[in-house]
């Protein structure tokens, strides 16, 4: 609610965790048995290295040692793994972002397919839509871990002041435009807009991908062909152009500060990750009533996949691979899914976690959480592709181009991007 605050449980900073346990044989959940002590290298994108979770795992699995190392951002992780592939210095488990890089890892032969160690029941328990960003060449390669979705955050106080009903927030692209016009104002009379109706956080391609699907299009088809210049993609990019130049509900090139500007009360609505819930609740405090709605639909509803996943790495060492599978299974099971969601803004990755009494209580006591979890039924995203980095950067550059140039042609912008992708894919091996 408006002034509620939830403080995530903090984990101690550790650059490297080395947990040594007296060596005894262990039995992994896959049924394979290791006869010798095993040490796993776990590369993470979290500065805390998941210390409490790692400690608990090791305590429950004598014989396995985990050396966890913070690598940096998702981009840093992707680059680090590519370097490690060349140098044959791979980790056993890695936390990878969904944005790009996974197909290259798979095609290098270093990722153990999920179906090799996760049961059919476990696969089915994980929300079906979350698999979309970890499926490639008809296989699942990473298990969703810290998963998030995009949402429409809004200033309920500002909505009321503009004569809108925050109990019925915008549901469509057209609704966002109408509400944005009502909330865009020059509040001090100096001739300059200082209260904007709509903005986006800086990870715009995440919303753009979903909007293409909402229009009925696809970015990557069943055969892996990438298409970014379809009518649906043009419609999406035109919507962002019109938000700035035609409807004038959004400023140009303000994405980098949009999160802070929204918390300061300068935006009526904001596309941003639902994982921002805790930080928004803390930053906003009692200054205004905070609300969240489903990502607005168009011809259909589709909500993208964000966050990260865990991969088990093919090292050629059977004992290490068995232990790595066991560790990834444990880190993504229902109990951990509940714990991560209680301690952060990430959504529960499993259906069974949603039924846990602790999650039910959280969703009941915090209406924001209830909305975020209800939206999981609509999760659907583009399949991954070796061209993901080009799609991401091209969509980002495209929206910046049409925001700054009112004469820019969205079709031409996307045609150029399509050419770059076609050139890359024609030489990809």
pLDDT by 10s per residue, the chain, length 429 = 433 333 333 323 223 333 333 333 334 444 444 447 999 999 999 999 999 999 999 999 999 999 999 999 999 999 999 999 998 899 999 999 998 899 999 999 999 999 999 999 999 999 999 999 999 999 999 999 999 999 999 999 999 999 999 999 999 999 999 999 999 999 999 999 999 999 999 999 999 999 999 999 999 999 999 999 999 999 999 999 999 999 999 999 999 999 999 999 999 999 999 999 999 999 999 999 999 999 999 999 999 999 999 999 999 999 999 999 999 999 999 999 999 999 999 999 999 999 999 999 999 999 999 999 999 999 999 999 999 999 999 999 999 999 999 999 999 999 999 999 999 999 997
Residue among 175, 99, 178 nearest 142 (CA)? 99
pLDDT value, residue 15: 32
- Residues 38 and 65 placed together within one structural domain of the fold: yes
- Residues 175 and 282 placed together within one structural domain of the fold: yes
- Residues 258 and 338 placed together within one structural domain of the fold: no
pLDDT value, residue 36: 75
417 in a structural domain:
yes
Residue among 301, 300, 291 nearest 262 (CA)? 291
> Domain range spanning residue 132?
16-147+306-370
- Residues 78 and 107 placed together within one structural domain of the fold: yes
Q: How far, rounded to the nearest angstrom, does the alpha carbon of residue 50 sit from its chain's CA centroid?
A: 18
- Give the containing element (helix H, strand E) for 337: helix 334-343
- Residues 206 and 314 placed together within one structural domain of the fold: no
pLDDT value, residue 5: 34
Q: How far apart are CA 424 and CA 390, in angstroms?
A: 9
- Residues 226 and 361 placed together within one structural domain of the fold: no
379 in a structural domain:
no
Pairing mode of beta strands 306-312, 64-70: unpaired
- Residues 264 and 401 placed together within one structural domain of the fold: yes
- Residues 141 and 212 placed together within one structural domain of the fold: no
Contact 139, 103 (CB under 8 A): no
Pairing mode of beta strands 64-70, 267-273: unpaired
Which of these three, 343, 370, 397, is where a domain ends? 370
pLDDT value, residue 392: 96
Q: How far apart are CA 212 and CA 148, in angstroms?
A: 19
189 in a structural domain:
yes
154 in a structural domain:
yes
- Residues 263 and 156 placed together within one structural domain of the fold: yes
128 in a structural domain:
yes
157 in a structural domain:
yes
Beta-carbon contacts of 428 under 8 Å, excluding residues fewer than 6 positions away, are 386, 387
Neighbouring-strand partners of residue 310? 95, 143
2 in a structural domain:
no
Contact 328, 240 (CB under 8 A): no
- Residues 219 and 167 placed together within one structural domain of the fold: yes
Q: How many domains is the chain built from?
A: 2
- Residues 170 and 28 placed together within one structural domain of the fold: no
CATH (domain of 128): 3.40.190.10
pLDDT value, residue 100: 87
230 in a structural domain:
yes
Quote the pTM value: 0.90
- Residues 241 and 347 placed together within one structural domain of the fold: no
Contact 364, 263 (CB under 8 A): no
């Amino acid at each position: 609610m408006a002034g509620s605050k939830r403080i995530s449980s903090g984990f101690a900073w550790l650059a490297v965790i080395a947990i040594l346990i007296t060596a005894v044989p262990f039995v992994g959940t896959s049924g394979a048995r290791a006869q010798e002590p095993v040490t796993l290298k776990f590369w993470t994108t979290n500065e805390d290295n998941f210390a409490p979770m790692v400690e608990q795992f090791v305590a429950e699995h004598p014989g396995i040692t985990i050396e966890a190392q913070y690598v940096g951002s998702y981009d840093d992780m992707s680059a680090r793994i590519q370097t490690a592939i060349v140098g044959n210095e791979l980790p056993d488990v890695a936390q990878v972002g969904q944005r790009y890089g996974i197909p290259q890892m798979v095609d290098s032969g270093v990722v153990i397919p999920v179906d090799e160690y996760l049961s059919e029941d476990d696969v089915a328990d994980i929300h079906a839509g979350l698999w979309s960003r970890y499926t490639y060449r008809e296989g699942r390669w990473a298990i969703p871990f810290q998963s998030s979705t995009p949402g429409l955050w809004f200033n309920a106080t500002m909505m009321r002041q503009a004569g809108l009903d925050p109990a019925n927030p915008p549901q469509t692209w057209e609704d966002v435009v109408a509400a944005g016009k009502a909330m865009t104002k020059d509040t001090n009379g100096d001739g300059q807009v200082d209260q904007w109706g709509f903005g986006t956080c800086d990870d715009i391609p995440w919303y753009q991908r979903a909007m293409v699907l909402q229009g009925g299009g696809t970015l990557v088809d069943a055969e892996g062909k990438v298409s970014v210049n379809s009518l649906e993609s043009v419609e999406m990019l035109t919507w962002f152009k019109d938000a700035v130049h035609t409807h004038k509900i959004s400023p140009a090139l303000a994405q980098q500060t949009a999160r802070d500007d929204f918390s300061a009360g300068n935006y009526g609505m904001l596309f941003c990750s639902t994982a921002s819930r805790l930080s928004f609740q803390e930053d906003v405090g009692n200054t205004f009533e905070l609300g969240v709605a489903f990502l607005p639909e168009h011809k259909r509803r589709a909500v993208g996949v964000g966050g990260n996943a865990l991969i088990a790495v093919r090292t050629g060492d059977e004992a290490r691979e068995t232990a790595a599978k066991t560790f990834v299974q444990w880190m993504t099971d229902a109990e951990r899914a509940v714990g991560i969601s209680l301690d952060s803004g990430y959504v529960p990755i499993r259906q069974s976690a949603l039924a846990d009494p602790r999650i039910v209580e959280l969703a009941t006591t915090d209406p924001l959480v209830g909305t975020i979890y209800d939206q999981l039924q609509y999760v659907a995203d583009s399949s991954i592709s070796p061209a993901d980095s080009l799609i991401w950067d091209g969509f980002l550059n495209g929206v910046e181009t049409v925001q700054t140039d009112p004469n820019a042609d969205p079709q031409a912008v996307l045609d150029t991007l399509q050419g770059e992708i076609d050139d890359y894919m024609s030489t990809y091996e």
